[in-house]
Amino acid sequence: MKADLLITGISQLVTAKGRGARHGAAMRELEVVEGASLAITGGLIAWTGKSCEWAGHASETVDLEGRAVVPALIDPHTHAVWAGDRLADFDARTSGKSYEEILKAGGGIRSSIRATASATQEELVRLAAPRMARLLRSGATTIEVKSGYGFEPYAEIAMLEAIQVLRASTPARILSTLLIHIPPAHVQDRTSYIADVCNLLIPEVANKKLAVALDIFVEQEAWHVDEAEVMLHCARQHGMAIKLHSEQFQRVGGLELGIHMGALSVDHLEACVPEQFELLAASSTIATILPGVSLHLGIAAAPGRQLIDAGAAVAVGTDLNPGSSPLFSAAAALALAVRLNGLTTEEALMAGTVNAACAVGLIDAGRIEAGLEADFLVLEGRDWRELIYILGANPVREVWIHGEKVEQ
Ligand code: NIG
Ligand code: FE
């Protein structure tokens, strides 16, 4: 075999093998090859195996001198485009007010909506680009970015257009999702906004291919299940995938709606209950948990351990956003999922790679396997578990996308 590049000196080459989301105990089935090499041709993985078994010829060789290699991470849930800040909320919360009280009083998400509405596209991109760079440095080469801080339907389109421009400014692969919050002006008149979303927004977003999925924030202080169903149904009719923010503070039933409608993922789940674990286990919907929110808001952590024990497929995201999760590291999200949600290191890596890929609709990502994109991480250490063990320093030494080392 002829390859463009051979990467040798890999202490441990770690990956899942084979397509599809991993449920339950299968989340621990990683392959670890010691003393490995990895060949790349045309940006794709051409071969992997024990170094002593390489019989081909490579135009160039790189020696990692005994460092571990894992698949690049996928961050399946961010709100990385916003203007303004939420430091006043942070102070209010540290003085005893809850996230929901602040939202109800017109702060929280509504204050980000106001600040984002008054920013130009250029400002939004300038503010979001360094956030992408930080996520990328932390190991995420594929990042889902949601709109959702729109003041009216066309403001969501402007946010999605900003995400498109952002795409050109980073080597990271960005997937965009249309997220619907309730704009401040529509809190009393939700029906007319739903009509605008279904009649104007979704058709235009689908037509211009500005987003691959629709996400609805279902919560007592946000959209209710019957309202979400109307918008999700419309999105599906326009060929979009669907997702939900649900069961964050209360058991609201968005989880059942998502499963019933074939959602790619239901996200948050801090307040979900045992009978819902079984429903997830029996479905193809991914349970995306967001430990940064539990840490930052001090709310209960989603029952990651119990979800996996029940047989669900769990993914982990940063939920990077100014209000509930100012977490700029995909590796740290995995580290927190072990400490707060009870995942093992193997499960956390699976949750941040293969299952995170499925949560954003990608079936051939998150693995190091011949024929797939050569997106992987070179870690600082020789043991891959440091990716998840280390807190407060970056365990990632190099980030590779499409067979090229990202300059950072
Ligand atoms: O995932 N829709 C809710 N979303 C975010 C929070 C957004 C915000 O507080 O600005 C979440 O927690
Ligand atoms: Fe979110």
Say what the ipTM of the complex is: 0.94
367 pLDDT more than 90 = yes
Q: What is the mean pLDDT of residues 78-96?
A: 95
* CATH (domain of 9): 2.30.40.10
pLDDT band, very low/low/confident/very high, at 362 (cuts 50, 70, 90): very high
Q: What is the model's pLDDT at position 134? A: 98
Question: Ligand 1: which of 217, 219, 250 to mutate, most ligand atoms within 8 Å of CB?
Answer: 217
203, 196 contact by CB (below 8 A):
no
**pLDDT tens digits, 68-79:** 999 999 999 999
Residue list, ligand 1 pocket, CB within 6 Å:
79, 108-109, 112, 181, 217, 245, 293, 319, 321-324
| Residue 108 and residue 8 share a domain | no
In a 13 Å sphere around the CA of 130, the CA atoms on its Cβ side amount to 3
Q: With contact defined as beta carbons under 8 Å apart, do 366 and 312 qualify?
A: no
State CA 91 to chain mean position distance. 27
Nearest-CA residue for ligand 1 atom 12 is: 324
| Distance from Cα 321 to the centre of ligand 2, integer Å | 7
Q: Are residues 378 and 297 in the same domain?
A: no
Residue 178's DSSP bridge partners are 214
Examine the domain organization and report whether 133 and 233 are in the same domain: yes
Residue 225 Cα to ligand 2 midpoint, Å, equals 17
pLDDT value at 103 more than 90: no
Asked whether 351 and 22 are in contact (CB, 8 A), the reply is no
- Point out the ligand 1 atom lying closest to the alpha carbon of residue 267: 1
Which of 68, 83, 58 lies closest to 12, judged by CA?
A: 68
Contact present, 302 and 279 (Cβ < 8 Å): no
- Residue 260's contacts (CB-CB under 8 Å, 6 or more residues apart) are none
- 185 pLDDT band (50/70/90 cuts)? confident
Nearest ligand to the CA of 84 is 1
Ligand 1, atom 3: nearest CA belongs to which residue? 217
Please indicate, yes or no, whether residues 124 and 107 belong to a single structural domain of this protein: yes
Is the separation of the CB atoms in 331 and 394 below 8 Å? yes
What ligand has the least distance to the C-alpha of 76?
2
Q: Are residues 24 and 132 in the same domain?
A: no
Parallel, antiparallel, or unpaired: how do β-strands 376-379 and 396-401 relate?
A: antiparallel
pLDDT band at 292 (very low <50, low <70, confident <90, very high): very high
Tell which atom from ligand 1 comes closest to the C-alpha of 149.
10
Q: Are 171 and 131 in contact (CB under 8 A)?
A: no
The CATH number assigned to the domain holding 302 equals 3.20.20.140
pLDDT at 284 over 90: yes
The atom number, within ligand 1, closest to the CA of 103 reads 9
Distance of CA 192 to the CA centre of its chain: 31
pLDDT at residue 153 is higher than 90: no
What pLDDT is recorded for position 221? Answer: 84
Dist. CA 212 → ligand 1 center (Å)? 19
| Residue appearing with tokens 């193809």 | 284
> In testing the pocket of ligand 1, which one of 97, 245, 246, 252 has its CB within 8 Å of the most ligand atoms?
245
Q: Which ligand does the CA of 228 lie closest to?
A: 1
pLDDT the model gives residue 183: 84
For residues 85 and 132, membership in a common domain is answered with: yes
Backbone angles phi, psi at 126, to 5 degrees: -65, -35
**pLDDT for position 151:** 79
Whether residues 136 and 32 fall in one domain: no
**Atom 6 of ligand 1, nearest CA residue:** 324
79 CA to centre of ligand 2 in angstroms: 6
The secondary structure of residue 25, as a DSSP letter, is G
- Residue range of the domain that includes 352: 73-360
Distance 63 CA to ligand 1 centre (A): 43
Dihedral, 112, 113, 118, 120 alpha carbons, nearest 10: 90
**Above 90 in pLDDT, residue 309?**
yes
Q: How many angstroms from the chain centroid is the CA of residue 143?
A: 6
Q: What is the pLDDT of residue 311?
A: 98
pLDDT tens for 20-63 read 999 999 999 999 999 999 999 999 999 999 999 999 999 999 99
Q: Do 167 and 277 sit in the same domain of this protein?
A: yes
CA 321 – ligand 1 centroid, Å: 7
pTM of the model: 0.97
- pLDDT of amino acid 239: 97
Ligand 1 probe mutation, 109, 318, 325, most atoms within 8 A of CB? 109
Q: How many domains does the chain have?
A: 2
For residues 243 and 354, state if they share a domain: yes
Residues 186 and 222 in one domain: yes
Same domain membership, residue 121 and residue 61: no
| Same domain, residue pair 283 and 398 | no
Of 360, 376, 395, which residue is a domain's last? Answer: 360
Q: What's the pLDDT score for residue 188?
A: 87
Q: Give the mutation target among 324, 325, 327 for probing the ligand 1 site: most ligand atoms within 8 A of CB.
A: 324
